[in-house]
Structure 1
Amino acid sequence: MARRSDKTVLITGLSGFTGAHLAHRLASDGWRIAGLGGRRLDCEVAHLEADLNDTARLTEWIREVEPTHVIHLAALAHVTGSDALSYYRVNVLGTESLLTALQDSGVALQKAIIASSANIYGNAPSSPIVESSEPRPMNHYALSKLAMEALVRKWFARFPILVTRPFNYTGPGQSESFVFAKIVAAFARRQDELRLGNLDVSRDLSDVRYVAEAYARLLECESEGQFVNVCSGRSVSLLQVIDAMAGIAGYRPQVQVDPAFVRADEVKELYGSPARLYELVGNIAVPDLSETLLSMYERNLQAPGK
């Protein structure tokens, strides 16, 4: 039986990697799901495909849907490959447009979660990274997210808002443009060679299911007006992932360092502190690395053409 039929959550970027996992997590708990952007999912009760900067259209739709909660995931997310203006148009102005539409619609919002990024910390000089760590953005994606955070601060007095800073995470369905998904897909295809950038780097890595659980709990916590790291607090290297995948797949490809993927200013190890997250929502179990990689590997094997 649906336990939260009186709760409607509007998720932007719903059909993306994170949004789809989160939507099914919340729907299983009885939330009514309204989605903005991309293809419609089976669990949605309402859907709109529109430009985030079309404030008038968003306002009209939000007034019809009457969301009680919002999770804003839609963003231009890749750190390279897009023109600079696009990052600010989508990540900054798009967020302002959404918040303006929520205000103009007159809905009684109980919580809004706005996704920023741990990329704002850039090459932090030490780990674990806490929310008070100095921002050191290294690209337009990170700069646009930091600018978005500054913009969102002025809305803290108008809406109960939490801003999340997710670190690296992966899981079934992630695009191969992300390095961990690329590695798993290469093993599933049994490629002879795997070309990567810096191999001796370690990053905070969690599972998309962990992230979905964090968002689900943050939706209902009483805190607002804060910035929250969403991270595992553990450091995982590319070599660890390759070793784990070799054990899962039963073979090991030749790994080549491709200069095109090497970043000159790469920091060897970065990971975050989930202490504030756990203070707000309680501890969340982080799936074992091997469990995450196996779920991704099996998903790849089941994909068409495998």
Structure 2
Amino acid sequence: MSSAAAKQSFRTLITGASGFTGRYLVEKLAARGHTVVEAVSGRDEPDTPTRVKLDITSPQACRRVLETVRPDYIVHLAAISFVGHDDPLDFYRVNVIGTQNLLEACAAIGHVPRKLLIASSANVYGNVSSAAIDESFPLTPVNHYAASKAAMEALVRTWFDRLPILIVRPFNYTGRGQAVNFLVPKIVSHFARRAASIELGNIDIARDFSDVRYVASAYEALLDSDVAAEIVNVCTGTPYSLREILTSASELTGHDIEVQVNPAFVRQTDVKMLAGSPAKLRALVPAVESIPFIDTLRWMLAA
């Protein structure tokens, strides 16, 4: 990056900034000299120059925030992402209509940012038996979360000729600060407090787990790239089963834990093996290096 480019201060709006991924990306972009404006939902404090309240389901709110901020970059992370969320309609209100509201707000105020990075999910691929799912695979979502992301992608693609948009499909990722209703933090918390046993579902399901710091680095590099009107997997290409994670955590802590399989945790629609092909990501942003999963686990356990 040239020194002139390095000195330029970009205004970057991040929706869902207070979420798990948002916190890491805010830190990373701020360190690169971006003036980050965090858009967060459900808070009572007054807006500040770097933190605004945004109800993504309100077209008026989206227009107001974009009119005020006029960001150079937009990173749209706000979503309902917990698959077990109890109201199916919320997935569509927030993940589909909310995203559409954001794009329509850009059009309504005549604002074209340098880049919009929109987070989808590898869940859109559904129950595919493949060790390397690439971006050309068909979308076969098996739950409301995945279906809402697939619908969102379909809508966003219709904007490719009007706005410089990049859709990212992250596979599973984890790290410090992720809620314990997600699998890896749940396992880590049990080992950290040296629990005698843990209740899990199917421990033979395998996932391509990335480190949240790698995901944030990939987003930052893609934002900085010249790429638009594309869909990119964000993954490592290396799957780990829960069984392997349990073994690694046991080796790192010197603690053994009894695994109790709770049938209530075994979802019929559970994808058995989900691993992505990072080939396109690596071609677009070759400088971004993934973090070995054992290092992620060690980092989480040390917290």
TM-score when scaled to structure 1?
0.92
Report what 2:195 is aligned to: 191
2:112, 2:163 within 8 Å by CA — same for their partners in 1? Answer: no
Report what 2:178 is aligned to: 174
Q: Is residue 258 of structure 1 aligned with residue 255 of structure 2?
A: no
Unaligned runs of 5+ in 2: none
Report what 2:248 is aligned to: 244
Find the aligned partners of 1:168 and 1:68 in 2 and give their Cα distance. 29
2:200 counterpart letter in structure 1 = L
1:53, 1:98 within 8 Å by CA — same for their partners in 2? Answer: no
2:191 counterpart letter in structure 1 = F
Task: Report SS of the residue matched to 2:18.
Answer: coil
Report what 1:28 is aligned to: 31
Find the aligned partners of 1:29 and 1:121 in 2 and give their Cα distance. 33
Distance 1:65 1:141, change over 3 A: same
Q: Is residue 18 of structure 1 aligned with residue 21 of structure 2?
A: yes
Q: 1:137 Cα shift?
A: 0.4
> Could you report, residue by residue, the CA deviation over 1:44-88 in whole angstroms, capped at 9, with x for unpaired residues?
952111210222232122222120001100001111232221110
- 1:1-306 mapped onto 2 (5 Å cutoff): 3-38=6-41, 45-299=49-303
Find the aligned partners of 1:79 and 1:281 in 2 and give their Cα distance. 30
1:3 counterpart letter in structure 2 = A
Distance 1:220 1:266, change over 3 A: same
1:60, 1:105 within 8 Å by CA — same for their partners in 2? Answer: no
> Could you report, residue by residue, the CA deviation over 1:261-299 in whole angstroms, capped at 9, with x for unpaired residues?
112354432200011111111152221222111211122
> Could you report, residue by residue, the CA deviation over 1:93-120 in whole angstroms, capped at 9, with x for unpaired residues?
0001111112223333100011111000
Find the aligned partners of 1:289 and 1:172 in 2 and give their Cα distance. 13
> Could you report, residue by residue, the CA deviation over 1:202-246 in whole angstroms, capped at 9, with x for unpaired residues?
111110000000000000111111111001110111111111111
Task: Report SS of the residue matched to 1:109.
Answer: coil
Find the aligned partners of 2:258 and 2:219 in 1 and give their Cα distance. 38
Unaligned runs of 5+ in 1: 300-306
Find the aligned partners of 1:220 and 1:182 in 2 and give their Cα distance. 34
Find the aligned partners of 2:134 and 2:96 in 1 and give their Cα distance. 23
Distance 1:256 1:202, change over 3 A: same
Find the aligned partners of 2:88 and 2:205 in 1 and give their Cα distance. 27
1:212 counterpart letter in structure 2 = A
Distance 1:20 1:56, change over 3 A: same
Find the aligned partners of 2:158 and 2:272 in 1 and give their Cα distance. 35
1:63, 1:106 within 8 Å by CA — same for their partners in 2? Answer: no
1:200 counterpart letter in structure 2 = D
1:68, 1:107 within 8 Å by CA — same for their partners in 2? Answer: no
Question: Matched residue pairs, number?
Answer: 296
TM-score when scaled to structure 2?
0.93
Task: Report SS of the residue matched to 2:289.
Answer: coil
Root-mean-square deviation (CA, aligned residues, Å) is 1.8
2:221 counterpart letter in structure 1 = R
Find the aligned partners of 1:265 and 1:56 in 2 and give their Cα distance. 37
> Could you report, residue by residue, the CA deviation over 1:158-216 in whole angstroms, capped at 9, with x for unpaired residues?
10001011000000000011101100011111111111111112111110000000000
Q: Find runs of 4+ consecutive structure 1 residues off by over 6 angstroms.
A: none
